[in-house]
Structure 1
Amino acid sequence: MLPEQLEAIYLNNLALFSKAGVGYQQWQHEPILDFETDQRISAELGITAAPTKSLFMKLKGGGHCLLLTHRDSRLDSKLVKSLVGKRVSICSNDEMVAAIGCEPGAVCPFGLPEHITLLIDPVLYSFDELMYTPGKPTMTFAFASDKLDVLLALLPNPQIQLPSAPDLQAHIA
């Protein structure tokens, strides 16, 4: 992983917030590459935003997509297949790094190559704020979830909203 790639992803995210006119908070901390560290750092820094998860997947026959969801949500591969028309599987770390430049455990949902389809889980809109890693595992960004669509509208990526599951929020809490 080249530091220049991570810096470019980070700067892309700053530019996206600026262009969208969306306010955000950011924190610098030790590297977060797993959920346990994420929970500990969030508690230490008083971050109350809902943690997101960006699952980078490959499509059978070629191509990639990314599922942006809540950290505790599970992948419904049958649902994703019905939406993208191909079977999906989680990418290997090496393939992911080569495709998008993010470190495993610190996948950024914004600023991906434009051919990568984004799958957006509507559970994200049920939280007041969302947090994610902007490429650098030593940084965390948070923003109001009601601004997610404003950010997504500025991205060139194809986007698919997952169907709503009203009872999913109860399973996450």
Structure 2
Amino acid sequence: MAIEKVKKHLAQWNVEHKILELEESSATVELAAQALGCEPERIAKSLSFLVNDGAVLIVAAGDAKIDNAKFKTIFGTKAKMLAKDEVLEKIGHEVGGVCPFGVNDGVAIYLDESLKRFTTVFPACGSSNSAIELTISELEVYTPYQEWIDVCKGWNE
């Protein structure tokens, strides 16, 4: 189960106990915000893309949308999300629980600038009813990310 992979990953910093396992679904930004009692934009959604035959994960604010021009500038190709049936195989988590913790080897993870405006955010933890509240600094420590990028729109307008 993917949440067990996430717990093992976060145990490196002794924070696996901070994972919130919810009674209700947190599979979408809206459901997660409702279940957690926070603003939807504070949900740190993880978006899965195929870039040059490799999987890329972009963690962005709940109100951010991928800007195709910015994506192409950074990755040199059009934004192509993984099909629902490819996500578990390529990323290591099912749709609804995708997060930047405990992912498959070879997945490139990027954090989007849209997250930096918050003190804390809520990424999922490998299941459709889990999350963890992290500061941006904690997110940086616990996520094996490549770099901060700016590939989203709709959040700073």
TM class by smaller structure: 0.7 to 0.9
Query: 1:99 Cα deviation (Å)?
Result: 1.3
Report the CA distance shift for 1:90/1:16 in structure 2 as closer, same or farther (over 3 A).
farther
Report the CA distance shift for 1:135/1:89 in structure 2 as closer, same or farther (over 3 A).
same
Q: Which residue of 2 aligns with 1:11?
A: 7
Which of 160, 164, 172 matches 2:147?
160
Unpaired runs of 5+ residues, structure 1, are none
Q: Which residue of 2 aligns with 1:140?
A: 131
Query: 1:76 Cα deviation (Å)?
Result: 1.4
For 1:163 and 1:101, the matched residues in 2 are separated by 25
Aligned length: 155
SS in 1 for 2:65: coil
Query: 1:95 Cα deviation (Å)?
Result: 0.6
- Partners of 1:57 and 1:88 within 8 A in 2: yes
Q: Which amino acid in the other structure matches residue 148 of structure 1?
A: L
Q: Which amino acid in the other structure matches residue 84 of structure 2?
A: N
Please state if 1:62 is matched with 2:59.
no
Query: 1:92 Cα deviation (Å)?
Result: 0.7
Q: Which residue of 1 aligns with 2:75?
A: 84
SS in 2 for 1:88: coil
- Partners of 1:57 and 1:65 within 8 A in 2: yes
Highest Rg: 1 or 2?
A: 1
For 1:144 and 1:161, the matched residues in 2 are separated by 15
- Partners of 1:31 and 1:138 within 8 A in 2: yes
SS in 2 for 1:147: helix
Q: Which residue of 2 aligns with 1:52?
A: 44
TM-score in terms of structure 1 length: 0.75
Q: Which amino acid in the other structure matches residue 31 of structure 2?
A: T
Identity of aligned residues (%): 21
Q: For residues 14-33 of structure 1, what are the structure 2 equivalents within 5 Å?
A: 14-18=10-14, 25-29=18-22, 30-33=24-27
Which of 92, 99, 103 matches 1:108?
99
Unpaired runs of 5+ residues, structure 2, are none
SS in 2 for 1:130: strand
Query: 1:23 Cα deviation (Å)?
Result: 9.2
Query: 1:148 Cα deviation (Å)?
Result: 2.6
- Partners of 1:117 and 1:160 within 8 A in 2: no
SS in 1 for 2:89: helix
Q: Which amino acid in the other structure matches residue 112 of structure 2?
A: D
TM-score in terms of structure 2 length: 0.81
Query: 1:168 Cα deviation (Å)?
Result: 6.4
SS in 2 for 1:118: strand
Q: Which amino acid in the other structure matches residue 26 of structure 1?
A: I
- Partners of 2:18 and 2:132 within 8 A in 1: yes
Root mean square deviation of aligned Cα: 2.8
